[in-house]
Structure 1
Amino acid sequence: MNSEYVVRLNGEVDPDEAKAALDPSQVGLKVSRLAELAQQGIRVPEGFAVTASAYREFVCDSRLGPTIAQALRRFRAGRDLVVAAAEIRSAFRDAWLPPAVVDEIVAAYAELGGDGTDVAVRCSPRVAADGLQDDVFLHLSNVQDVLAACRRCFASLYGTVAVGNREALAIDQLRVAMPVVVQPMVRADLAGSGTARRESTFVRVRASWGLADHADADLYSVHPGDRPLVVRHRGAKQLKTVYADPRGTLEVPTTADERAGWVLTDDDLRELASWSVAADRHFRRPTTLEWAKDGLSGRLYVLEVRPAVASETVLRVRGRAVPEPQYG
């Protein structure tokens, strides 16, 4: 299923799709990085990207260009930026996706299982975060909701801060684009999630029960190798984040067994440590892997990779991440 509007995330079967999945100008940095890791043998969730070309076709077909231009003219003439940006986002959410784009998304979602298959829909910005809200929509289970989430991700390109930043940098607001990534849900609410980052000869791993990386997480230091050395520091793990209807998240207390136990096994730590080393070598710089463990399959997956920064603190609030630098 290689097309102008949809590209598989795991395109290793089709060389053309594999190449397309590596192009950040079409699929965004998030997807491009994950596709590179998948080619290195690191497990990432399957899925597909709705491309920058699909975004542009949507804007053209729905005649949103004049709406964007008019709202910006009013802002430059003195209108409040919050109002101008909201007007653009509202127009995006009310518009219909072009039939050709809809057909490709419907076909791609059907390949993942179709209606009844829980997926997450996320923004995949083409450049380093510049105030983009980076919206995330969780456990969507029918194609109409997936299509609506794609429109909302497109609209997030015109958040107030993002529009203001582009104006300050004199970036053409009509030439930007927002790819979107659609992936099956990893049921980390039934297992755990966290980050892994290599520091010198050790890989540091944080692990919490559920979805979010809580401050009182378990901490592990892993020396990779045939017989890895693992140093453990048990966290209090008082709370965990789980999925909650309708399509949100909820913090709940952990059980006594969860507080007393370890989130990750030795096998999990060996796998995460090997992935962290492989990612650093591939990108030729320190990276941080955001991972999740599926409580149904027991498998670990990398959900995102980003350049590591000194004294890094990862913040997760309802799927929203702190801005990140771009690879050079």
Structure 2
Amino acid sequence: MSGEYVVRLNDDVDPDEAKAALDPARVGLKVAWLAELAQQGVRVPAGFAVTASAYREFIVDSRLGPVIAQAIRRFRAGRDLVVAAAEIRTAFRDAWLPPVVVDEIVAAYAELGGDGTDVAVRCSPRTAAEGVQDEVFLHLTTVQDVLAACRRCFASLYGTVAVGNREALGVDQLRVAMPVVVQPMVRSGLGGSGTARGESTFVRVRASWGIGSHADSDLYSVHPGARPLVVRHRGAKLTKTVYADPRGTRTVPTTPAERAGLVLTDEELQELARWSVVADEHFRHPMTLEWAKDGQTGSLYVVEVRPGVAAEVTIQDRGSSVPEPQYG
């Protein structure tokens, strides 16, 4: 069951109840959009959102309102914005989450498997123009790590750029909130990841081994109709990003087999293309999907969705020839 401070992403509830529970004002755009795609049959990781109400309870319980107000007053009186914003973030990181919030997060994390379960914790801003640094904490395996990451996400609301943007727009610094999303790790460090986006009658897919996209990724054009057409450009894929213990990432060379092969099969490409079409039609706007392939299960997941199209990265010849397109 979901509560005031935590909302499960995989609750089987009435669509109208789900719409209210997953309102972007409550759980942020990132969570709301993923949940809407999941209801349309797109595969997204399970998990839970820590709500805007949890953020507000944290502010009240830790008496952070006066800290924020004082730092903003000092900035308006001439103090450097970088210093004022850093003061607020430090206060957030040193504070404790309220017990009522902790209890719901602990229960939700236990449902995912509890201590020893790899999760990712991400910010989920409530507006696309929030100007918040997109904090992401990967490879967390204890509830204490999850709680600390939630505080860091709350604190990211007071990054220098975000505070400056709100001041310029006249937004009340005390009326904002930052939801957070917690999801099991998709082990793309052992598989692959990239983006998919609609373009005219084709879906463009970028794919790399490991985590994130690289300039020498594979590029695909997929026509998702009754007679699927796939155009493949195999990238050099000289390096990949993988998870590093105890957390974080590192870049390593790919193997000869990875450089020579393609990251995705035709069936996987068609699945991503279908999801891209679903997203564009559902949101009635071109959307970019960030996807990941779990190297342990082989399953594809959409891990983030955002409006607009991703900027293309020009493939540079790094000493390896790029083959002619392959048609299928």
| TM-score range normalised by the length of the shorter chain | over 0.9
Q: Structure 2: any 5+ residue segments left out of the alignment?
A: 315-328
2:271 is the alignment partner of 1:271: yes
Per-residue deviation at 1:130? Answer: 3.6
Give the letter aligned to residue 205 of structure 2: V
Show CA shifts across 1:133-181 (max 9, x none): 1110001001011000000000000001110111111100000000000
* SS of match in other structure, 1:301: strand
SS of 2:28 mapped into structure 1? helix
CA distance in 2: counterparts of 1:258 and 1:119, whole angstroms: 27
Shift of 1:16: 6.8
Aligned counterpart, 2:108 = 108
Check conservation: 1:11, 1:17, Cα contact below 8 A: no
The answer on whether the counterparts of 2:218 and 2:235 sit within 8 Å (CA) in structure 1 is yes
Partner of 1:72: 72
Equivalent residues in 2 for 1:238-253, closer than 5 Å: 238-253=238-253
Correspondence for 2:91 = 91
Q: Deviations over 1:44-69 (max 9, x none)?
A: 00000000000000000000000000
Residue 295 to residue 21, structure 1, CA distance change in 2 (3 Å): farther
Cα distance change on mapping 1:162 and 1:33 into 2, 3 Å:
same
| Letter aligned with residue 91 of structure 1 | A
CA drift at 1:128: 1.0
Secondary structure in 2 matching 1:181: strand
Contact 2:50 2:181 in 1 (8 A): yes
Give the alignment's Cα RMSD to 1 decimal: 1.4
Aligned position for 1:43: 43
* TM-score calculated relative to the size of structure 1: 0.93
* Alignment correspondent of 2:144: 144
Letter in 1 for 2:113: G
Amino acid at match of 2:201: T
Partner of residue 323, structure 1? none
Question: AA paired with 2:284?
Answer: R
1:248/1:150 CA distance change after superposition, 3 Å:
same
TM-score, normalised with respect to structure 2? 0.93
3-state SS in 2 of match to 1:46: coil
Q: 1:313 to 1:95 in 2, by over 3 A?
A: farther
Take 2:302 and 2:210, find their aligned partners in 1: how far apart are those partners?
A: 15
> Any conservation in 1 of the 2:197–2:309 contact (CA below 8 Å)?
no
The residue that corresponds to 2:321 in the other structure is none
The corresponding residue for 2:63 is 63
Residue 168 of structure 1 aligns to a residue whose secondary structure is helix
Return the alpha-carbon distance in structure 2 between the equivalents of residues 17 and 300 of structure 1.
28
Q: Which amino acid counterpart does residue 269 of structure 2 have in structure 1?
A: L
Give the direction of change, closer, same or farther, for the CA distance of 1:201–1:137 in structure 2 (3 Å limit): same
Aligned ranges for residues 164-175 of structure 1 at < 5 Å? Answer: 164-175=164-175
Q: State how far apart, in whole Å, the 2-side matches of 1:18 and 1:105 are.
A: 19
Q: Is the 8 A contact 1:11 1:21 kept in 2?
A: no
Q: Distance in 2 between matches of 1:308 and 1:90?
A: 34
Q: Which runs of 5+ in 1 are unaligned?
A: 315-328
Aligned to 1:158: 158
One-letter amino acid matched to 1:215: A
Taking the TM superposition and a 5 Å limit, the aligned residue runs for 1:19-38 are 19-38=19-38
Question: What is the aligned partner in structure 2 of residue 230 from structure 1?
Answer: 230
